[in-house]
């Protein structure tokens, strides 16, 4: 099907201009002024922004964790993404203990079969190199389009790996063209602090944050950076929350080291005040790393403005408050870690980043689309508007007012981290490879339209067409 998008303000990471956009065979085929072309569908974008579909490189759909499973499966999570202007994401395969990487990848892909609303790829989370996957098997994943390895430096006794596993994986990544991702918190220190808090009878949600202090994040971030540099591997530090972690990333980048960092939407808006709410309400804000003191908000805005941090993701990891978060009613360490947010990233960053003058419109596109596509082997198929790129497009109404609420979002979670926040600016029409996904506040496609993305190795760029796999 051919689509002509007329008269929109096309905004990429580098450009900002008014033009028409012609789409055929799922790609952008022509960009120009007053295009005189017949099309199966014409979309009037006058007065609207025309943005590349956003890319979220950090999500957890249908993931077992903490004795339960995240409430959003692939269909629910990706529907939320589509309504929020995200047309591609990269989810985490969590290697179960004793399982090979191939078996883990097959298990995760089977969860998505027939449910995909948008395009997706996978990272591999390495948890067991002794009884499950091997370094040799890990080295084959980039050939299959899985070009990033995730390691947890926290969650002792569950997902956490030791420094030997971390370093060996980094060495494999350096040889195979993969990007190493780390959850950087000192899990040993946290384990001690958690046990001390519980022994003292401190069981409230607030102690989730107090037992995961910013120093534990800063130390682990610096350790990961030094080990990655020693191994010659590129490093991506996920969900950075505080100045203690921002500072070592800034130092490494000043030295020209291959280090990048992301933060997440919630870390600009949620704080210790939220997790301290009475009557267990604070459990809604239990995720890791935890909420921080509000003084870190300006630190993070400055970091994304100056490219010390290069990506804003969501770490969407949604649970029900009633029935899942309440598993930790009497013990904060049993509260499932994670929160929803996949749908509201673009709205929140546009409102409080662009409209309030903290970042430019171009920088917003760079943080939410272009940089994640570049770092994770999707660019320029994804993350930009250019001839030959996939026609993943968001027609964004900069004046549309929306009040964010669990009553209207599309996640299955029964709460919203930004409940009651009114934003000006929201997606009006969302297209995936030229197919209209969302229009008139409704999903207008059936699940199954999304595809698995075979990503390029780190640093490579390709315009190869996506093929179903």
Domain boundaries, the chain: 53-375
398: Cβ contacts below 8 Å, ≥ 6 apart? 48, 49, 350, 424, 425
Cβ atoms 59, 314 nearer than 8 A = yes
- Alpha carbon distance 65, 159 (integer Å): 10
**Residue 269 confidence (pLDDT):** 98
* Helix H or strand E segment including 447: none
469 residues of the chain, pLDDT tens digit each: 899 999 999 999 999 999 999 999 999 999 999 999 999 999 999 999 999 999 999 999 999 988 899 999 999 999 999 999 999 999 999 999 999 999 999 999 999 999 999 999 999 999 999 888 999 999 999 999 999 999 999 999 999 999 999 999 999 999 999 999 999 999 999 999 999 999 999 999 999 999 999 999 999 999 999 999 999 999 999 999 999 999 999 999 999 999 999 999 999 999 999 999 999 999 999 999 999 999 999 999 999 999 999 999 999 999 999 999 999 999 999 999 999 999 999 999 999 999 999 999 999 999 999 999 999 999 999 999 999 999 999 999 999 999 999 999 999 999 999 999 999 999 999 999 999 999 999 999 999 999 999 999 998 875 444 444 4
For residue 462, what pLDDT is reported? 58
Element (H, E) at 401: strand 393-403
List the structure tokens of 152. 């947890």
User: To which H or E segment does residue 423 belong?
Assistant: strand 422-432
Question: With b meaning 16 or more CB within 10 Å and e meaning fewer, what string describes 114-128?
Answer: ebbbbbbbbbbbbbb
Asked if 148 and 126 count as a contact pair (C-beta separation under 8 A), the reply is no
* Cα 285 to Cα 279: distance, rounded to the nearest angstrom: 13
Whole-number pLDDT of residue 463? 47
Q: Identify any residues that bridge with 94 across adjacent strands, giving them in sequence order.
A: 125
Contact 331, 351 (CB under 8 A): no
Q: What is the pTM of this model?
A: 0.97
Radius of gyration of the chain (CA): 21
**How does strand 148-152 pair with strand 119-125?**
parallel
CATH no. for 53-375: 3.20.20.140
**Using CA atoms, how far apart are residues 187 and 156, in angstroms rounded to an integer?**
6
Q: Tokens 């595809």 identify what position?
A: 451
Quick one: which H or E segment has residue 435?
strand 435-439
């Amino acid at each position: 099907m051919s689509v002509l998008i007329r008269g929109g303000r096309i905004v990429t990471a580098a450009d900002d201009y008014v033009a028409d956009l012609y789409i055929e065979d799922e790609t952008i085929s022509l960009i120009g002024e007053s295009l005189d072309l017949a099309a199966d569908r014409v979309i009037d974008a006058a007065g609207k922004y025309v943005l590349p579909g956003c890319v979220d490189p950090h999500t957890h759909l249908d993931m077992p964790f903490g004795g339960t499973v995240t409430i959003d499966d692939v269909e629910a999570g990706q529907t939320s993404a589509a309504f929020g202007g995200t047309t591609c994401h990269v989810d985490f395969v969590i290697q179960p203990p004793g399982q090979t990487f191939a078996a883990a990848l097959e298990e995760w892909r089977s969860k998505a079969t027939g449910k995909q609303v948008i395009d997706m790829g996978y990272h591999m989370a390495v948890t067991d190199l002794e009884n499950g996957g091997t370094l040799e098997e890990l080295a084959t994943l980039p050939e299959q389009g899985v070009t990033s390895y995730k390691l947890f430096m926290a969650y002792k006794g569950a997902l956490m790996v030791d420094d030997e596993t971390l370093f060996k994986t980094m060495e494999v990544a350096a040889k195979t063209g993969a990007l190493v991702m780390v959850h950087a918190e000192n899990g040993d220190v946290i384990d001690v602090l958690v046990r001390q808090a519980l022994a003292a009878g401190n069981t409230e949600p607030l102690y989730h944050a107090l037992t995961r202090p910013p120093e534990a994040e800063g130390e682990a971030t610096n350790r990961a950076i030094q080990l990655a540099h020693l191994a010659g591997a590129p490093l991506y530090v996920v969900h950075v929350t505080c100045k203690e972690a921002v500072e070592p990333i800034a130092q490494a980048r000043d030295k020209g080291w291959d280090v990048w960092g992301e933060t997440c939407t919630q870390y600009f808006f949620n704080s210790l005040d939220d997790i301290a709410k009475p009557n267990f309400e604070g459990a809604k804000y239990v995720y890791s790393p935890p909420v921080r003191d509000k003084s870190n908000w300006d630190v993070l805005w400055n970091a994304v403005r100056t490219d010390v941090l290069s990506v804003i993701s969501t770490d969407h990891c949604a649970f029900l408050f009633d029935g899942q978060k309440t598993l930790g009613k009497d013990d904060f360490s049993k509260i499932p870690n994670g929160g929803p947010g996949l749908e509201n990233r673009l709205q929140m960053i546009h409102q409080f980043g662009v409209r309030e003058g903290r970042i430019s419109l171009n920088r917003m596109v760079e943080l939410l689309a272009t940089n994640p596509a570049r770092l994770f082997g999707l660019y320029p198929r994804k993350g930009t508007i250019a001839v030959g790129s996939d026609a993943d497009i968001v027609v964004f109404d900069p004046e549309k007012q929306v009040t964010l609420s669990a009553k209207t979002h599309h996640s299955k979670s029964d709460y919203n981290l930004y409940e009651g926040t009114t934003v000006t600016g929201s997606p009006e029409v969302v297209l995936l490879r030229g197919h209209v996904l969302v229009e008139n506040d409704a999903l207008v496609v059936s699940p199954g339209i999304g595809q698995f993305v075979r990503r390029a190795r780190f640093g490579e760029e390709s315009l190869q067409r996506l093929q179903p796999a």
